[in-house]
Structures are given as structure tokens and as C-alpha cells.
Amino acid sequence: MRMLLSRKLKEAVIKNIFFIAAAFSVFIIFFIFYYLFQQAFPAFQNQGFAIFGTTWNSDTGHYGIGAAIYGSIIVTVGAMIIAIPLGLAGAIFLSELAPPYLRTLLKPIIELLAGIPSIVFGFIGIILLVGYLHLTFDMLSGYSYLAGSLILGVMAIPIIVSMSDDAMKAVPRDLKEASLAVGATQWQTIKKVIIPTSISGISAGVIMGIGRAIGETMAVSLVLGNIMKIPIPPWNIFESKVTTVTSFIVTEMGESSGIQTKALFASAVILFVIVAVMSIVSNILKEHVQKKFKGG
């Protein structure tokens, strides 16, 4: 009896320790949420909708971060143009075409790429890429949306490959074999069976990739001009006078003060909301793919 009680007690203690550990991260996220909003509120109050404007000048009291939001979108779109085709093709190869030995070799290497610290990408970007672009395209400088997109694209590839590969591997064998049995070629099977059934998993991977690209700071801040402007024309990917939200925050935060700091917090809030929404959508899609095959 006593034995049973102590075991029960032990169980309860352990259970609670784990519960506290889990609750801790929830607490942290709520704390960040609260702190960000609390810090940013004065800026929203002070600037109103002008916060989405494109003039940033602390002398005249204008703190519009519109150009940075635009920059984040453009750089991310550029990164996805590079990462989605490469990532998807890579995933198809890994899950469907690669011989097993190659797969066991390649998959960990690609996942290792996802673990490389962003500053390393940024460093390679500033040392090699910027100079290369400057000379190759005869640009005034290599600092540009283009450089940012290239780096972020490479950084997003492993995420897209890894998650899409998992999604394609989760497609039940019988579906695939049925398709091949009725005489479809391998390519037809991939196109008509594998991709459509795993599309929500692939989308989850792509959204995670976008999330990484849009939230990335160090690598982009090193290869952009960090000037709050929308280039002329807006799709001019060679212009250096551009910035993204993350890059602008890290460049200006150091010596900022007063309402300027609050405005930087406000841009962080906007970014936080964007990334949070993406992460939620990605999770919903991932759950969808699991339900579909595991019979709910």
C-alpha cells in the first residue's frame, strides 16, 4: 500500500515537472507577445496609419516602415522563386528517384545545411556574393534585393526539401503501386498521385521556408543597403537603397531612443503577426496531411 502511494506520488511529481517545462515555453511566448505589444503601443498611438508610410526621419518625427515591409515581401518572394523549384525537385528526387544509398547519404547532408548559422550565410554573402554581383552585373554595388533573395533562397531550400520529402514519403505505398500497376509511368505517378496527395505537406514546407526567409535577420542585414526606401521602379532588384523589417530593426536599434525605439518595436509586432500566422497555417496543413493517411 505504502509502495503504491510512493509510486503514485513519484508519478505525480514527474508529471508536474514535465508540465511546468511545457508551460514554461508557453509562458515565454506570452511574455514576448505582451512585451512587444506593450513596447510598440506608443508608436502605433503616435503614428497611426503613418506607421505604414515610407518616410523614416527622426528629425521630422516620421516613422513609416512601409518600405521595409515591402522589402521583406520582395526579398521573400525572390527567395521563394529560387527555393521552391529547387527544393521541390530535390524532394522528388530524394523520395522517389534516389537509390536508397544515395538517399541515406543526401538527406542528412541537406538537413545539415538547415543547421548552418545564418551569420555564416551572411558572411559568405558579404565576402563573395556582393563582390561577385557588383562585378558580374556591373552594379553600383552588390548590396541589393537580389543578394538578399539569393541568400535567403539557399537558406530556405533545406527546409522545403526536408518537409516535402517527409510528406511524399508518407504517401501510402498502395496508392503509388496502384498507379504503376495501371500502367502509369514513374513521372505520371509523381505528377498525378504523389504530388497531389502530399500537397498539404509540401505547402507546409514551403510556408516554413517563407517563415524562415521573412524572419531571417543577420544574413540579410549584411547584404542590403538598410535604407528605408522603395526603389524606383519598385521591382528594381539591383538597387542598394533598400531594407527589410528585420534588417532595419537590427541596424537602427543600437543607438535609437524614444519613440524611434517604439517604432522599431512596432515593426517587430507586424513581423511577429505575419510569422505567427504563417506558422499556424503551416501546422494546420501538416495536421491535415497526417489525418489524411493515418485514418484520423
Partner 1 sequence: MIYIVTQKEKKIGMLALTLIAIAILTTTLFSGCTEQKNNGTTATLSLGGSTTVQPIADSCAQAFMAKHTNITVQVYGGGSAVGIKGVAQGTYDIGDASRAAKADDLTGIQGVTLADLVQHKIALDGIAIIVSKEIYNAGVTNISKTQLKGIFNRTITNWKTLGGPDKTIFVVGRDSSSGTYTSINDMLGLNKTTQILDVAKSENAQVKAAVAGQDNSIGYVGLGFVDTNTPALKINGIAPSISTVTDNTYPLSRPLYMYTKGPATGVEQMFIDFVLSSEGQAIVAQEEFVPLP
Residues near partner 1, by CB under 8 A:
19, 23, 26-27, 30-31, 34, 56-60, 126-127, 130-131, 134, 140-143, 221-222, 224-227, 240-241, 250-252, 254-258, 260
SS3 56: strand
CB of 203 to partner 1, least distance (A): 27
Q: Which residue lies nearer to partner 1 by CB, 131 or 172? A: 131
The helix (run of H) or strand (run of E) holding residue 115 is none
Q: Which residue lies nearer to partner 1 by CB, 40 or 157? A: 40
Surface-to-core class of residue 244, CB atoms within 10 Å of its CB (0-12 exposed, 13-18 middle, 19+ buried): buried
CB of 284 to partner 1, least distance (A): 18
CB of 56 closer than 8 Å to CB of 69: no
CB of 59 to partner 1, least distance (A): 5
Q: Which residue lies nearer to partner 1 by CB, 149 or 221? A: 221
- Which residue type sits at 63? Y
- Which residue type sits at 121? F
CB of 20 to partner 1, least distance (A): 10
Q: Which residue lies nearer to partner 1 by CB, 118 or 226? A: 226
Q: Which residue lies nearer to partner 1 by CB, 161 or 222? A: 222
The helix (run of H) or strand (run of E) holding residue 62 is strand 62-63
Surface-to-core class of residue 99, CB atoms within 10 Å of its CB (0-12 exposed, 13-18 middle, 19+ buried): exposed
SS3 57: strand
Cell of 99: 537509390
CB of 105 to partner 1, least distance (A): 36
